[in-house]
Structure 1
Amino acid sequence: MKRYSIAGGLLAAATLTLTGCNSTLTSGPVTVTVSAPDSATPGTPGGANPGPGGANPAPARPGGSPNSGAPTDNQGSDNGSPGGAPNPGAPAPGKCTTSQLTLDKGVGGLQGGHWFLRLINHSANSCVLQGFPGVSYTNGPTGDPVGQPADREQTATPAPVTVAPNAAAQFEFIENDSLLEGCAAVHTDTIRVYPPDNTESLTLWWPKVICPGPDHMLTVRAITPM
């Protein structure tokens, strides 16, 4: 509105001035052409100004698409819930089989004839050992047992022991050498071990002088963690 008022005032002043300077000029109607202002208001650079709820993209969630809703079930770590908790849907480890295990001499001492043997899981999967191994003396990996098999020292219900890949569980056995007195001793060179719930055995080189019977020279304890 101010633009039209100023233009009109200037036109009138110009007319009066011309009239005062040269009375011979004839004042007549003067036609003035004024361009109309643009109807659109100035826009924001790059496009229209979006209002509330318009086209502005929402920030994207990490690992998701923009405007995605609640995280889906497959978001997060591959191992289950955040924090490394075990996946509740993963199957429980099965019992260890003889083919998964290697027999190895652990720690022990000469006092009292106490020894530890290790069962090492050389497979790619965890497995469970629970209970007592079967232990006996023999000559060679395929030889028949010599003397009586080991007695079990039952003190409590054995707990299951989960053995991870390349880890081991152990068991203790006791040799009662006092029984050698007064018996017809024989030589053996191998100890045979049946892992719990298995019918296939493992053997270990174990030179020994034993009493073939009827007394039991061996006592074995349940599998325990390392």
Structure 2
Amino acid sequence: MTGFPDDLGGTPEGPGPEEPLLRQPPGYLAPPPGSFGQIRRRAARRRRLRAAGGGTAAAAVLAGSVYLVGALTPHGTEDRVSPPATGSPTTPAPRTTRPAPPVTTEPRATPGTHGASPPSRPPVTGPSPAKDSPTPSGTPASTGHGSPAPMCAASQLTASLGAPEGAAGSVYRYLLLTNHGATACHLTGYPGVSVLDASGKQIGAPADRRPMDYAPVVLKPGESASDTIRTANHLGTCRPASAKVRVYPPGSRASLVVDGEVTVCDELFTITPLAAGRTGNPPS
């Protein structure tokens, strides 16, 4: 048996009904056991080698650049090579600068003065106090001979009232404080004044202060300071007439009581600051 169709009784169009098939049936060979796992291991090893090689190359390039920058930077200067940026901003250290030397200006000579420079102005030490600014309570005032005068105590003063004088719907009355002590003292500002009935009870509110400038008044033994009490001359509603007047000297907690009749009408009751003399403030 040769296997040719002619020998088996076949025809040229195909084998006969009893002709055996000499061709292997179609199909694919199965891969050897473990081949896929070996392929995956080789691929993972190649990836690791590539990553290691890339990191080593990057580190070498970075080290070489830092070395080149350090080698090319001139030595002996204040500039320093900063490390590579890490992503966080850094603040450069401030440089200290020396202050510029003061510039002095030479005064120029004025023509006609033969080179003489003009006199320099005295240094300004601050605003000078006003002439009418009061001396604080308790601060000694000068007696005019260089010795200070303490504040007058109520125990060394005597109070008295002048006669009332009417003008333009008002009644004015002087209040006098006299130094009966053996040493000089001073008074500054407003006294406290209120009116009392015969039993010593206060009638209404104390006197209001009339805004005026004032200065310390130095009283030698026997000298007086005075101010002016103003009330309405029987206008509007009047309070009962007083039997006494109570006076607190400036800066004192002790009071003086003097007999006197003062009628407060239309709620007008004012007092001026003390001034030198016996004719009130302003002095008449």
Provide the TM-score with structure 1 as the length reference.
Answer: 0.53
Mapped to 1, the partners of 2:238 and 2:218 lie a distance apart of: 42
Give, in angstroms, the shift of residue 176 of structure 1.
Answer: 1.9
Secondary structure of 1:137's aligned partner? strand
Identity, in percent, stands at 30
Q: How does 1:15-54 map to 2 (within 5 A)?
A: none
Q: Corresponding residue for 1:223?
A: 274
- Structure 1 distance, partners of 2:172, 2:259, is 17
Letter paired with 2:174: F
Secondary structure of the equivalent of 2:261? strand
Tell me the equivalent position of 2:175.
Answer: 117
Q: What TM-score do the two structures reach when normalised by structure 2?
A: 0.43
Residues 1:178 and 1:95: Cα distance change in structure 2 (over 3 Å): same
Deviations 1:6-50 (A, max 9, x none): xxxxxxxxxxxxxxxxxxxxxxxxxxxxxxxxxxxxxxxxxxxxx
Measure, in 2, the Cα distance between the counterparts of 1:200 and 1:108: 26
Report if aligned partners of 1:151, 1:216 keep a CA contact under 8 Å in 2: no
Q: In 2, distance between residues paired with 1:130 and 1:122?
A: 17
Q: CA deviation at 1:127?
A: 0.3
Question: 1:58-207 maps to which residues of 2 (within 5 A)?
Answer: 86=145, 88=146, 90=147, 92-106=148-162, 108-111=164-167, 112-140=170-198, 143-156=200-213, 158-179=214-235, 181=236, 183=237, 185-207=239-261
- The one-letter code sitting in structure 2 at the alignment partner of 1:96 is C
Change (3 A) 1:107 1:206: closer
Deviation at 1:206, TM superposition (A): 1.5
Quote the Cα distance in structure 2 between the aligned partners of 1:185 and 1:207: 12
Gaps of 5+ in 1: 1-84
- Higher Cα Rg, which structure: 2
On the 8 A contact 1:147/1:216 being kept in 2, the answer is: no
Alignment partner, residue 30 of structure 1? none
Relative contact order higher in (CA < 8 Å, ≥ 6 apart): 1
Query: In the comparison of the two structures, how many residue pairs are matched?
Result: 132
Report the RMSD for the aligned CA atoms in angstroms: 2.2
TM superposition outliers: structure 1 runs of 4+ over 4 Å: none
Q: Distance in 1 between matches of 2:240 and 2:163?
A: 26
Q: Give the counterpart letter for 1:223 in structure 2.
A: L
